[in-house]
Amino acid sequence: MTEFELIEKYFKREQPRCRFPADMGVGDDCALMSVPPGMQLATSCDTLVSGVHFEHGASAVDVASKAMCTNLSDLAAAGALPAWASVALTLPRPSRSWVRQFSNRLFALADAVQVQIIGGDTTRGPLAVTVQIFGMVEEGMSHTRGGAKVGDRIFVTGTLGGAALALRQMKRGDSPDSECLRRLRTPIPRLGIGRAIQGLATSCIDVSDGLNQDLTHILRRSGVGATVKLDAIPLPAASKKLGMTGLDLALYGGDDYELCFTAPESAAAKIAEIPAIMGQITCIGVVEEELGLRGASARKEIANLSNRGYQHFSSTEDVQL
């Protein structure tokens, strides 16, 4: 199977329900697209490498799911409407059944969010996928990492730490929690919430490297600090049983692809009205003038965190994360 046959057979498809049909899609030197007046183009890319971002031997379906969903999550963080995707696939050898399963899943997910696959590349080499995702956002309405203000509330969507828990269970040879495994393999891009908080959120990021690191990106870029109520961080059911480990996975684990955003207290009522079907939204803290990220907890077992090997935060109420 040549690259040309592979593209013709598996990557050129009718997609009648695209939100922003391209002027020219797959099959020429370039794809051509028009951006409607008043809209900015939002774009991002993520590479997933076999053995690094997914297990060697992962199914084609899981690879396609993760590649699309992690990229869509970046659009969610920007508050953008998904429009197009370009897919660069590197395969050790062109297996028809692998490519068929990969492309079927890719197009199923793309169709579900009205995204058009506009092009890409297929090459031979160690298994890896790079998706470049394109979205559209009203001029000046995108969330960035740099807008958090002192007094803003800090919110997160869904639950944190589940993907890291599933990964940890598998690495230990344990049977992973099924809900956490599903989240590890197919993160839920919070596209609806990303749009719903437009005009309300002052900053937003997707949590891919653990809450500690990603919230710190917001704080540094915004020139502010924060205190997080550690007890308020929403954990998946399987993590709640684990005590401190569950909190640890939420703070320092990765791959959750939930949103973390800030908004003024005056927006809290409107945020509470966002339909729960889009995902749970939890207030976990407040933005402060004092730089740095602090954790606060009423729970005794967190009082001695510094003694338990947590280098980044220490005692009870106003401790350095």
Minimum distance from CB of 139 to a copy of itself (Å)? Answer: 7
* Residue 104 contacts a copy of itself per CB under 8 A: no
Q: Which is nearer to a copy of itself, 88 or 244 (CB)?
A: 88
Q: Which is nearer to a copy of itself, 119 or 236 (CB)?
A: 119
- Chain centroid to Cα 55, Å, comes to 19
* Residue 309 contacts a copy of itself per CB under 8 A: no
User: Residue 232: is it exposed, middle or buried by C-beta count within 10 angstroms (0-12/13-18/19+)?
Assistant: middle
Which residue spans within 50-190 are E strands per DSSP?
Answer: 81-91, 116-124, 128-138, 153-157
* Residue 293 contacts a copy of itself per CB under 8 A: no
Q: Give the β-pairing of 292-296 and 225-229.
A: parallel
Name every residue whose Cβ is closer than 8 Å to that of residue 86 and which is 6 or more positions away in sequence.
Answer: 31, 117, 118, 119, 120, 131, 132, 134
Q: Which is nearer to a copy of itself, 137 or 319 (CB)?
A: 137
Q: Which two tokens stand for residue 136?
A: 């559209």
Residue type, 9: K
Query: Which of positions 145-184 make contact with a copy of itself (CB under 8 A)?
Result: 145-146
Minimum distance from CB of 241 to a copy of itself (Å)? Answer: 32
Query: Which of positions 52-71 make contact with a copy of itself (CB under 8 A)?
Result: 52-53
Sole binder of a copy of itself in the list 66, 67, 68, 74 (CB under 8 A): 74
Query: Which of positions 189-228 make contact with a copy of itself (CB under 8 A)?
Result: 204-206, 221
- To which residue do tokens 């399987």 refer? 238
* Residue 88 contacts a copy of itself per CB under 8 A: yes
Judged by phi (left if over 0) then psi (alpha if -120 to 50, else beta), residue 275 lies in: beta
* From 49-57, 103-111, 272-280, 311-319, span contacting a copy of itself (CB under 8 A): 49-57
DSSP 160-212: SSHHHHHHHHHHTTPPPPHHHHHHHHS----HHHHHHTTTT-SEEEEESS-HH
Pattern 11-40, a copy of itself, x by CB under 8 A: ------------xx--xxxxxxxxx-x--x
Q: Which is nearer to a copy of itself, 48 or 60 (CB)?
A: 48
Which residues partner with 287 through β-bridges?
226
Q: Which residues bind a copy of itself (CB under 8 A)?
A: 23-24, 27-35, 37, 40-53, 74-75, 77-78, 80, 86, 88, 90, 118-121, 123-126, 128, 130, 132, 135, 137, 139, 142, 144-146, 204-206, 221
